Structure 1
Amino acid sequence: MDGLLQKINTDAVVSFYQRLINNNASDMDKCIATVGAVGVLSLFVFNPFGGSGNIKKSKKNKKRVVKRTIPKYEPIIKKELTDEEKVVEVKRKFNEEYKKDAEQILQSFDKNNEKDVYKKGFLGEMLMKLLLELDSIDVSQIEDLEKKSKLKEGRKNTIHEIQGYLKQIDALKVDK
């Protein structure tokens, strides 16, 4: 029975295409051909199998993609501190954690040493973070003039000290 249906379908398709090729197609043949052509074209235009035209692979064959998250900028200094305490904390952090390394890298920097190049970049970033912390301190809201001028002077001196080291570190040449 299946062989008979296949033979009938094959004969019908062959005669259909012969009528189309010989320009003897009826209106129904033309409609069928148009619908078929539109169907095939729609597979290329409106690809239901994904963007690349390939059928999606099973989960077994898929590579696992690990998303890396970029850490959000976190301030070095806690927000709960007063402006005066922030200036003191930035100065302390610079003196205790970065100043010694900055002086060491300025004295013995080797542009061919990978660790020195990394340390130069790291110190540059950390000093910039400290400067950003100092920059976030708003002295315009302080009404007490003596307190305001003291805060401005401390902030200014700390900024100049950090900037002095940062300029020297940035001036170190690195081969690319």
Structure 2
Amino acid sequence: MDSLFQNINKEVVISFYQRIVNNNSSDLDKVIATVGAIGLLSLFVFNPLGGSSKSGSKTSKRKFKKRAIPKYEPIIKKELTDEEKIVEVNRKFNEEYRKDAEQIIVKFDKNDDKDVYKKAFLGEMLMKLLLELDSIDVSQIEDLDFKKKLKDGRKNTIHEIQGFLKKIDGLKS
């Protein structure tokens, strides 16, 4: 590629661009300019990095990892009853996230990347648990005692998770 540029007569190129700029271009000049523009465009479209390979070396294809965009997946199975969902969210919080949340609240170091990541992760997981609880609709339940039991269980679990979430969100990053 470098040898190609060395062999181009600079005077011819300068006069070509002067004709284009001064609107004195011929049809051939317009065709050359169009082909050159398409060539440059295709270079950037098919090679998004825009670089050229070194002379004498084989062109290597670069493989890029596609970033996985996580979809929201419910933490709790949809087949569960409302009562089972509340119990499952409470169990999941207490068994999987409470200990880590208590530790990060006590010894958070904003300069430690692991702590910063753990803080963000726990915030996200606790928010997902709250969304699971929020998706439970008790308004359709006719049995008032059962409805009150579900509402109280959901309310207590929400308050417990929100308490930890507020403390985690309050940590200075």
Give the TM-score taking structure 1 as reference length. Answer: 0.68
Number of matched residues? 141
1:136 positional shift: 1.2
SS at match of 2:132: helix
Matched to 2:31, the amino acid is G
1:142 positional shift: 2.2
- Alpha-carbon RMSD across the aligned residues, in angstroms, is 2.7
Show CA shifts across 1:22-75 (max 9, x none): xxxxxxxxxxx8442342243256x15644479978994332222122121111
1:88 and 2:87 aligned: yes
Counterpart position of 1:63? 62
Counterpart position of 1:36? 28
Pair 52,79 (structure 1): closer, same or farther in 2 beyond 3 Å? same
1:1-176, aligned counterparts within 5 Å? 34-44=26-36, 47=38, 50-52=41-43, 60-174=59-173
Matched to 1:43, the amino acid is V
Counterpart position of 1:15? none
SS at match of 1:67: coil
Name which of structure 1's ranges 57-66 and 140-149 shifts more when overlaid on structure 2: 57-66
SS at match of 1:64: coil
1:93 positional shift: 0.7
Q: Distance in 2 between matches of 1:80 and 1:54?
A: 48
Specify every segment of 5 or more residues in structure 1 that has no aligned partner in the other structure, as ranges: 1-32
Q: Distance in 2 between matches of 1:139 and 1:67?
A: 41
1:156 positional shift: 0.8
Structure having the higher Rg = 1
Q: Distance in 2 between matches of 1:44 and 1:60?
A: 22
Q: Distance in 1 between matches of 2:91 and 2:44?
A: 60
Specify every segment of 5 or more residues in structure 2 that has no aligned partner in the other structure, as ranges: 1-24
Matched to 2:35, the amino acid is L
Pair 109,55 (structure 1): closer, same or farther in 2 beyond 3 Å? closer
